[in-house]
Amino acid sequence: MALERLFRRKRPSGGNRDVPELWTKCEACGAQIYKKEFQENLHVCPKCGHHHRLPAQERVAMLADPGTFQETTRLRPLDPLGFVDTKPYVERLKAYQAETGRPDAILGGTCQIGGVPAVLLVMDYAFAGGSMGSVVGEEIARGAERAAEEGRALVIVAASGGARMQEAALSLMQMAKTVMTLDRVWARRLPYVSVLTDPTTGGVTASFAALADVILAEPGALIGFAGPRVIRQTIRQELPEGFQRSEFLLKHGMVDRVTDRRRLKEELVRVLRHLHPGVAYAPGV
- Name which of 8-22, 40-54, 71-85, 173-187 the model is least confident about: 8-22
Q: Which residues contact 212 (CB under 8 A, 6 or more apart)?
A: 156, 192, 193, 194
| Whether residue 227 has pLDDT greater than 90 | no
Is residue 27 situated within a structural domain? no
Q: How many angstroms separate the CA atoms of 92 and 113, rounded?
A: 34
The alpha-carbon radius of gyration of the chain (Å, integer) is: 21
CB neighbours (10 Å) of residue 234? Answer: 9
Q: What percent of the chain has pLDDT above 70?
A: 91
Per residue in 120-159, pLDDT tens? Answer: 999 999 999 999 999 999 999 999 999 999 999 999 999 9
User: Structural domain of residue 140, as residue ranges?
Assistant: 53-275
Q: How many angstroms separate the CA atoms of 283 and 285, rounded?
A: 6
Per residue in 173-200, pLDDT tens? Answer: 999 999 999 999 999 999 999 999 999 9
CATH number for the domain spanning 89: value is 3.90.226.10
Helix (H, G, I), strand (E, B) or coil at 262: helix
Is residue 127 situated within a structural domain? yes
45 is in an annotated binding site: yes
Is residue 285 situated within a structural domain? no
| Whether residue 106 has pLDDT greater than 80 | yes
Give pTM, 2 decimals.
0.90
* pLDDT band, very low/low/confident/very high, at 283 (cuts 50, 70, 90): low
Residue type, 41: N
pLDDT value at residue 54: 97
What is the tally of structural domains in the chain? 1
Positive/negative CA dihedral, 149, 175, 69, 71 = positive
Supply φ then ψ for residue 124, to 5 degrees: -110, 105
Q: Which residues contact 166 (CB under 8 A, 6 or more apart)?
A: 79, 81, 83, 85, 89, 92, 133
Q: Count how many residues are written for the chain.
A: 285
Is residue 261 situated within a structural domain? yes
- Name which of 9-13, 28-32, 37-41, 152-156 the model is least confident about: 9-13
Is residue 265 situated within a structural domain? yes
Give the number of C-alpha atoms closer than 13 A to the C-alpha of residue 123, restricted to the C-beta side: 32
Q: How many angstroms separate the CA atoms of 260 and 206, rounded?
A: 24
Is residue 146 situated within a structural domain? yes
Is residue 281 situated within a structural domain? no
| Whether residue 27 has pLDDT greater than 90 | yes
111 is in an annotated binding site: no
**Residue 46 contacts residue 260 (beta carbons within 8 Å):** no
* pLDDT band, very low/low/confident/very high, at 278 (cuts 50, 70, 90): confident
pLDDT value at residue 279: 74
What integer is the mean pLDDT of 85-110? 97
Give the number of C-alpha atoms closer than 13 A to the C-alpha of residue 152, restricted to the C-beta side: 23
Is residue 10 situated within a structural domain? no
* pLDDT band, very low/low/confident/very high, at 21 (cuts 50, 70, 90): confident
Rounded to the nearest 5 degrees, what angle is found at the Cα of 54, between the Cα atoms of 70 and 153?
A: 40
26 is in an annotated binding site: yes
